[in-house]
Amino acid sequence: MIELEFFFDFASQYSYLAATQIEAVAARAGATVRWRPMVLGAVFKATGNDMPARVAAKAAYMVRDVDRWAKRYGVPFRMNSHWPMPTVNAERLCLVADEQGLAAPFALVTFAATWAEDRDINQPAELARLAEAVGLDAKAALERAQAPEIKDRLRANTDEAVARGAFGAPAIFVGDQLFWGNDRLHFVEEALAAAAAR
């Protein structure tokens, strides 16, 4: 089975856009998705990159651009009034969901909460709601999310993404090939098809 690795941060609008499409992209190629949360701020720091929104003209453009993509995909999008909120706790909780085989549904409901429903995904009550939405025991899951091995795993995801060449989000890997952004999903599909043909 071919595996596509999807490194993302909930704070990233382009990660949301890609997330809405990635399972279908993989399914069309007979591949599976490994959902790998990372900390985008740490990726920027490690690579010397900047968040794109630091440039005012780019930030203004991005809002319109993300909206164009959302319309193209037929998915909802609204800027989040809490953004940029910390996303590290939601990402740790995604790794807890992953221990139960629930990373994909957890990521999808959390992306929707962030970029369609204007939720503050750093609030404990919201995190509990998201955990419950995918069938987790909220209290146990939130407690587990603070375990040292979960924190380490999020750091390890981030370090691995950087070591493999990522400098932004989403960072999508097919083997050692990196693809950056939802706007490269057609290249991801080609790489999956090539991998399937080998």
Q: Looking at the annotation, which residues are catalytic?
A: 12
| CA distance linking residue 82 with residue 66, whole number of Å | 17
Give the interface segment with a copy of itself, choosing from 4-12, 15-23, 89-97, 174-182 (CB under 8 A).
174-182
| CA distance linking residue 136 with residue 138, whole number of Å | 6
Q: Which residues contact 52 (CB under 8 A, 6 or more apart)?
A: 58, 59, 62, 168
Contact at 8 Å (CB) between 15 and 111? Answer: yes
x-or-dash pattern for a copy of itself, window 40-69, by CB under 8 A? Answer: -------xxxx---xxxxx-xx--xx--x-
Q: Which is nearer to a copy of itself, 149 or 183 (by Cβ)?
A: 183
Q: How many residues make contact with a copy of itself (CB under 8 A)?
A: 26
Taking CB under 8 A as the criterion, the residue among 34, 86, 167, 193 binding a copy of itself is: 167
| CA distance linking residue 39 with residue 9, whole number of Å | 6
Q: Does 1 bind a copy of itself (CB under 8 A)?
A: no
Q: Does 168 bind a copy of itself (CB under 8 A)?
A: yes
Taking CB under 8 A as the criterion, the residue among 162, 169, 172, 174 binding a copy of itself is: 162
Helices (H), 29-147: 40-47, 56-73, 88-99, 103-115, 124-133, 138-144
Rounded to a whole number of angstroms, the minimum distance from the CB of residue 54 to a copy of itself is 7
Q: Which residues contact 65 (CB under 8 A, 6 or more apart)?
A: none
Taking CB under 8 A as the criterion, the residue among 187, 193, 194, 195 binding a copy of itself is: 187
Report the greatest alpha carbon distance in the chain: 47
Q: Does 21 bind a copy of itself (CB under 8 A)?
A: no
Rounded to a whole number of angstroms, the minimum distance from the CB of residue 8 to a copy of itself is 17
| CA distance linking residue 83 with residue 88, whole number of Å | 13
Give percent helix, percent strand, percent coil of the chain, each to the nearest 5: 60, 10, 30
Q: Does 172 bind a copy of itself (CB under 8 A)?
A: no
Return residues touching a copy of itself (CB under 8 A): 47-50, 54-58, 60-61, 64-65, 68, 72, 162, 165-168, 177-178, 180, 183-184, 187
